[in-house]
Amino acid sequence: MRVSPAVTKNSAARTRSLSHAPRRNLTQFVIAALLGCWMIAAVTPFIWTFLTSIKKTVDAFANPPVWFFEPTFQAYRQLWVDEGFTRYLMNSAIISLGTVFISISLGCLAGYGLSRYHGKAGFWILFMAFVFRALPRLTFLLPFYFIARVTGSFDTYTLLILVMVAINQPFTIWMLRSFFADIPDALEEAAMVDGCNRFQAFWYVIVPIMGPGIVTASIFSLLLAYNEYLIPLVLTATNAVPLPVAISQFGAEDIRYWSLSAAGGISIALPILLIVIFLQRYLVKGLTSGAVKS
């Protein structure tokens, strides 16, 4: 699987349409309106939650909804100061960044190897990784719970990071392999003729030009780790609890906590919103690399 260069370019010049007929304004309007409907469906829940998070508790569950209200950031203060949400943020940050660092380091080595080696073993590794990607997380998690209890590694960062690295490894090596495969062999061969060994050629020649690919794979790895719910739900109790598990235990059913939970939801979503806005190029590239074959 490869990314064709045409896909990754976002410039207007490459933008194509399926029709050559003169596109009338009315048609364009209808298209934009239809797309707009889905856009409203996509963002309304987030906007509504944001509004809820800056309402006073009494306004938050007013029925019919209150449209004009005095905004307050009380819920955020309560969340971060009184409820100590900072601790969960720290946990999430440590676990996610640790996972990204290890996943990508291992994934780059394996992905590069797989993109350059054409033997039978490479093929089977890729195929088995794909099969593993199809399996539910619980297949691996049940024994981890047992092992964690026995070895005393339950509820630690190390355990969570290792488990997430392993479970995301198949996806990571597939993606990185496809990016490495786009880089011509000639590059490192030239370096090796000049006296580099294979690893030096990889490190000094290939990795620097892989920058965008590594950024893309890192973002996906980060999202997977940051968003993960089931793994920490099973393997943490108090010490290493990350944001998604913390917010899920917040009592969303009790309407008295709506503003507070809404503030939590918005806080967790905020870093992701920033990624969507500023790193969209990489996200799209990563998403489409899996499907668009050359």
Partner 1 sequence: MKAKEFWVFAAPSLLIMVLLMVGPLLFTLYLSFSQYSLGGAAPRLNGLDNYATVLSDPAFWRAVSFTLSYVAIAVPLIVLIGFGLALLLTELRRGKRLFISAYLLPFVVTPVVGTMIVAWLFRDRGFYSYLLSLIGVNVQWLAEPTAARALIIGYGVWAAVPFAMLMLYAGMQAMSQDPIEAAIVDGATWGQRVRYVVVPSLQPIFLFIIMITMMDGFRLFDSVAIMTRGGPGGATTTAMYYTYGVAFGDQLLGRGSAAIVLCMIGILILLSPFLYRTYQDTVKQRT
> For the chain, what is the largest distance between any 2 Cα atoms, rounded to a whole number of angstroms?
75
The Cα–Cα gap between 203 and 190 comes to 14
* Omega of the bond leading into 64 within 30 degrees of 0 (cis): yes
Q: How far, in Å, CA of 178 to CA of 280, rounded?
A: 19
| Degrees, nearest 5: CA angle 63-66-68 | 170
The minimum distance between CB 181 and partner 1, in angstroms, equals 9
29 binds partner 1 (CB under 8 A): no
The residue range among 66-74, 75-83, 206-214, 264-272 that interacts with partner 1, by the rule CB under 8 A, is 264-272
Q: How far is the CB of 211 from partner 1 (least distance, A)?
A: 19
Of 69-77, 82-90, 204-212, 229-237, which segment contacts partner 1 by CB under 8 A? Answer: 229-237
Q: Is 165 exposed, middle or buried (0-12, 13-18, 19+ CB in 10 A)?
A: buried
Least Å from the CB of residue 141 to partner 1: 8
Residue with tokens 């073993």, as numbered in its chain: 121
Residues 84-103 that bind partner 1 (CB under 8 A): none
Q: How far is CA 282 from CA 50, 67, 206, 217, 279, in A?
A: 26, 37, 19, 9, 6
Q: Which is nearer to partner 1, 73 or 127 (CB)?
A: 127
Residue 7 is a binding residue for partner 1 (CB under 8 A): yes
User: What is the CB neighbour count within 10 angstroms for residue 251?
Assistant: 12
Distance CA 53, CA 76 (A): 8
Among the listed residues 27, 86, 151, 158, the single contact to partner 1 using CB under 8 A = 27
Q: Is 48 in the site for partner 1 (CB under 8 A)?
A: yes
Of 41, 24, 2, the residue nearest 183 (C-alpha): 2
Query: Considering the rule CB under 8 A, would residue 258 count as an interface residue with partner 1?
Result: yes
Q: How far is the CB of 3 from partner 1 (least distance, A)?
A: 9
Build a one-symbol-per-residue string for 265-294: x at contacts with partner 1 by CB under 8 A, - elsewhere.
Answer: x--xx--xx-xxx--x--xx--xx-xxxx-
Q: Which of residues 140-169 bind partner 1 (CB under 8 A)?
A: 140-147, 149, 162-163, 165-167, 169
By CB under 8 A, tell whether 238 contacts partner 1.
no
Tell me which residue of 180, 275, 267 sits closest to 222, measured CA to CA: 275
Give the number of residues in contact with partner 1, rule: CB under 8 A.
Answer: 118
Q: Is 118 in the site for partner 1 (CB under 8 A)?
A: yes
Decide if residue 207 touches partner 1 (CB under 8 A): no
Q: Is 110 in the site for partner 1 (CB under 8 A)?
A: yes
Candidate segments 46-54, 73-81, 82-90, 203-211, binder of partner 1 by CB under 8 A: 46-54
